[in-house]
Amino acid sequence: MKIAIASGKGGTGKTTLSTNLASYLSEIEQVVLTDLDVEEPNSGLFLSGNREIKEDKFKMVPQWIEDKCTLCGICQKVCNFHAVIQLGKMIMVFPELCHGCYACSELCPESALPMIPKKMGELNYSRDRNLHFIESRLDVGEEQAVPLIRQTKDYIDRTFPGDTVHIYDSPPGTSCPVIEVTKDVDFVILITEPTPFGFHDLKLAVETMRELKKPFGVVINRDGIGNQDVVDFCKCEKITLLAKIPNDRRIAELCSLGKLIYNEVPEFRRELDKIITYIMTIKNYKQA
């Protein structure tokens, strides 16, 4: 059972919801929380637990072997990303542009471009009782988030049984990293703010989930600010409104300190309960 917590707009509370939901739910069962916002991973800042595993993560990029190369030019011709360029008698490889398709390497008649691993980030695993936490961080200067997201998901699928509850903290937006995170989950929670920016970006996120044919529900964060547009939209589009987290200075302050909220603010915990009831219904339905 995999649930992704996503949003069009950044800063609407994805990490707040992911960490609190995972931690609260882990009081009753095993939960695996994975921070897949690899560019700016924040979930770990809210959790305790000792780091047990740290793994470097690599992507495969070609390396030029001058002695074997006949300068035939095929590698440059087959690279659609301009990551392999022939300059005079030299082949230059730009690893940050490389998508790792292997075309240059495997189509080189002289095997002069073997693929070698290049570090792109690291994966950390820590555990606090029933809560398993995995975080991947992209090295600063690495531009492509998708390969690291993909490897992190593979790691989770290999390590944990399928019937565990998985929560993915997704990156913001609606482009390739978000698709990579959400494409194989069972349910997506879209969290938004009831403001014009939040509403506009929610509509994009809804469109994305419909394109992916993913079941989803909406959580309104900072309920009370802005206007009614998000609520009206959900009603009109028949989208399940899972919960409304009140706009409360205590929540903002706890978040700013990197603390979990559900034990401190009962109104917040009540909303989490609603989400958990919903998730459990889906889980039971899925198992049956």
Partner 1 sequence: MKEIVVISGKGGTGKTSLTASFAYLGGKDVIVADCDVDAADMHLLLKPDFAEAEDFYSGELAYIEQDRCIRCGKCADVCRFDAIENVFNTYKVDRLACEGCGYCSRICPTHAIINKKRLAGEWYISQIKTGSLMVHAKLGIGADNSGKLVAKVKNEAKKIAEDEFKDFILVDGSPGIGCPVVSSLSGAHFVVMVTEPSVPGFHDLKRLFTLIKKFSLKAGCIINKFDINKQITKEIENYLKEENILHIANLPYNEDFIRAMTKGQTVVEYTDGGVRNLIEQSWNKIKDEIK
Binding site for partner 1 (CB under 8 A): 8-12, 15, 39-40, 42, 45-46, 78, 80-81, 99-103, 106-107, 138, 140-145, 171-179, 183, 195-197, 200-201, 204, 207-208, 211-212, 225-227, 252-253, 255-258
Nearest distance, CB of residue 1 and partner 1, angstroms: 22
Q: Which residue's CB is nearer to partner 1, number 259 or number 270?
A: 259
Q: Which residues contact 243 (CB under 8 A, 6 or more apart)?
A: 219, 220, 271, 272, 274, 275
CB 84 within 8 A of CB 76: yes
| Alpha-carbon separation of residue 256 from 37, 194, 266 (angstroms) | 19, 21, 18
Nearer to partner 1, 28 or 252 (CB): 252
What's the min distance (Å) between Cβ of 183 and partner 1?
7
Q: Cβ neighbours of residue 86 under 8 Å, at least 6 residues apart?
A: 71, 73, 75, 76, 92
When the beta carbons of 114 and 226 are compared against partner 1, the nearer one is 226
Give the separation between CA 233 and CA 140, rounded to whole angstroms: 38
**Shortest gap between Cβ of 102 and partner 1 (angstroms)?**
6
Cβ distance to partner 1 smaller for residue 209 or 275: 209
Dihedral sign for Cα atoms in the order 197, 203, 204, 209: positive
Pairing of strands 90-93, 84-87: antiparallel
Q: How far is the CB of 49 from partner 1 (least distance, A)?
A: 16
Strand ranges (DSSP E) for the chain? 2-6, 31-35, 50-62, 84-87, 90-93, 115-128, 131-138, 165-169, 187-192, 216-223, 241-246
Give min distance, CB of 69 to partner 1, in A.
Answer: 19
Contacts of 64 by beta carbon, 8 Å cutoff, 6+ apart: 90, 91, 92, 93, 112, 113
Q: How far apart are CA 277 and CA 260, in angstroms?
A: 20
Nearest partner of 222 among 195, 260, 242, judged by Cα: 195
Nearer to partner 1, 27 or 106 (CB): 106
Closer to partner 1 by Cβ: residue 171 or 217 = 171
Q: Which is nearer to partner 1, 8 or 165 (CB)?
A: 8
Cβ of residue 205: shortest distance to partner 1, in angstroms? 9
Minimum distance of partner 1 from residue 212's CB (angstroms): 8
